[in-house]
Amino acid sequence: MHSNVRRCPRCGYQGDGIPYFKRSSHIALLIGVSLFTYGLAGLGYWLFRRNRVICPNCGLAWHMYPEALPPPKEGKGPVPITTENLPPLPRGGLLRRLFGVGLIVVATIMVVAGIVEAELAAVGVGSVIGATGTGSFWWGLKGLNDRRKALMQRLQQKVLRLATHKGGTLTVTEVASELNLSLPAAEKVLVSMDDGFRVRSEISKDGVLYYEFPEVLHRGELGSGSEE
């Protein structure tokens, strides 16, 4: 039997999740966006969210949170590298994007109908609605980009903690294993951190690519300050 057991990164709840549209506020939102967009935005909203699992306690969707993975069994799996006291990730702006698309569709219909029927009022109103929809869509895209940046920063912090635990060197495989990431995702995080100074990539004599954290690797050799 499939289990949705997770550990919520926002409220700390640990247990089974519930389907997204079992939450009454989400049902109300679905009805609301459907009424104002002839059902188009509501349909898109339902299609994008219908398979998501959320926390029954705070309603957080868990699909983009690596830390909301099933807790490893005792004695098995990687040791979790946590980042305490972090603010919740910003919203991805999906609803704003869907709402914007819905308004653009409605605006297109109104403008076309206004041109066919020679109704300038319909064209004018449709143009205003279209501009509003375009603004909402771009606002949603900004939210998505902000969420991606925040997620990358959170993963980078976890990699830094992991590097400290590992003595200052990491491989892509180690990061993927310890942080429950795919190999491409782990590589992307490490590449984003590689500045050739605080984090740099090296190749061992055996041809293994690894990432070195000099400030961690040589921490014991650092002095306490300038001496007179």
**Domain total in the chain:** 1
Residue 33, pLDDT score: 66
Residue 22, pLDDT score: 79
Phi, psi for residue 19 in degrees, rounded to 5 = -60, 150
Comparing CA positions, the residue from 158, 155, 150, 154 lying closest to residue 92 is: 150
Residue 1, pLDDT score: 38
pLDDT values of the chain reduced to their tens digit, one per residue, 228 residues = 344 456 676 666 667 777 877 777 777 777 776 666 666 666 777 777 777 777 777 777 765 555 555 544 444 444 444 544 556 767 778 888 888 888 888 889 888 888 888 888 888 888 988 899 899 889 888 988 888 888 888 888 889 989 888 888 999 999 988 888 888 888 999 999 988 888 999 998 888 899 999 888 877 766 655 554
Interatomic CA distance for residues 161 and 193, integer angstroms: 13
Q: Does any domain span residue 37?
A: yes
Angle at 136 between CA 132 and CA 139, to 5 degrees: 140
Q: Does any domain span residue 164?
A: no
Q: What is the pTM of this model?
A: 0.56
Interatomic CA distance for residues 37 and 106, integer angstroms: 7
- Torsion angle defined by CA atoms of residues 70, 73, 75 and 79, in that order, rounded to the nearest 10 degrees: 10
Q: Does any domain span residue 187?
A: no
Quick one: DSSP state of residue 68? G
Q: Does any domain span residue 136?
A: no
H helix runs in the chain, sequence order: 24-36, 40-49, 94-116, 120-166, 172-178, 183-193, 214-217
Q: Is residue 186 classed exposed, middle or buried when 0-12, 13-18 and 19+ CB atoms within 10 A define those classes?
A: buried
Task: Give the range of the structural domain holding residue 56, as residue numbers without chain letter.
Answer: 1-70
Q: Does any domain span residue 32?
A: yes
Residue 101, pLDDT score: 87
Q: Which residues pair with 226 in a beta bridge?
A: none
Interatomic CA distance for residues 181 and 64, integer angstroms: 11
Report helix angle 120-166 to 94-116, nearest 10.
Answer: 160
Residue 154, pLDDT score: 86
Q: Does any domain span residue 88?
A: no
Comparing CA positions, the residue from 180, 177, 199, 198 lying closest to residue 190 is: 199
Residue 74, pLDDT score: 46
Contact yes or no for 130/103 (Cβ under 8 A): yes
Q: Does any domain span residue 47?
A: yes
